[in-house]
């Protein structure tokens, strides 16, 4: 087992602020086939009670994966990236991300486990606005196959 279990519980430095834009939300909605005007039309989103156009639920990966990849590329952790497959992903949303949000991500290594020749690595990334409002928790589980 190559992944260093001493890293369990380690929390990394927060990311640089990421500004959620209307253009990026629309681009992501197009890419996943989400047809809703609430992802594209500010007036429609406001009529539905949102401050601006909102992101589809898995858009948070755009924000969280950049930060969690910082974890998996940490040389001290010892992940063999060639042997990695994506095991699980989950999101818990306090509210949808919307255009105009400026958010910061911070990742923690929640667990490193062993199942036969497989090693699992679970990271939790908290997404908060720069004002400290908690918006989303993203949890990813990666699997490293035995060499």
Interface ranges with other proteins (CB under 8 A): 24, 27-36, 38-39, 48, 50, 54-58, 61-62, 65-66, 82, 85-93, 95-96, 139
CB of 59 to other proteins, least distance (A): 8
Nearer to other proteins, 7 or 100 (CB): 100
Residue 14 in tokens = 């927060």
DSSP class of 69: H
Nearer to other proteins, 6 or 95 (CB): 95
> How many residues does the structure list for the chain?
147
CB of 45 to other proteins, least distance (A): 9
What's the CA angle centered on 104, arms 98 and 109, to 5 degrees?
120
Residue 35 in tokens = 């047809």
Nearer to other proteins, 6 or 80 (CB): 80
Nearer to other proteins, 23 or 76 (CB): 23
Measure the CA–CA gap between 120 and 131, rounded to whole angstroms. Answer: 33
CB of 6 to other proteins, least distance (A): 27
CB of 1 to other proteins, least distance (A): 21
What's the CA angle centered on 92, arms 87 and 97, to 5 degrees?
115
Measure the CA–CA gap between 9 and 107, rounded to whole angstroms. Answer: 10
Nearer to other proteins, 11 or 58 (CB): 58
DSSP string computed for 60-92: HHHHHHHHHHHHHT-TTT---GGGEEEEEEEEE
CB of 90 to other proteins, least distance (A): 3
């Amino acid at each position: 087992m190559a992944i260093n279990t001493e890293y369990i519980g380690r929390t990394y430095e927060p990311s640089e602020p990421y500004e959620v834009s209307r253009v990026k939300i629309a681009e992501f909605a197009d890419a996943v086939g989400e047809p809703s005007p609430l992802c594209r039309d500010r007036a429609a989103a406001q009529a539905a009670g949102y401050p601006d156009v909102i992101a589809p639920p898995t858009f948070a990966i755009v924000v969280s994966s950049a930060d969690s990849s910082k974890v998996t590329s940490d040389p001290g952790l010892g992940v063999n990236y060639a042997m990695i497959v994506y095991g699980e992903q989950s999101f818990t949303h306090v509210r949808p991300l919307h255009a105009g949000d400026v958010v910061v991500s911070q990742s923690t290594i929640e667990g490193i486990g062993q199942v036969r020749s497989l090693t699992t690595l679970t990271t939790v990334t908290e997404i908060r606005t720069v004002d400290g409002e908690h918006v989303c928790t993203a949890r990813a589980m990666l699997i490293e196959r035995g060499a």
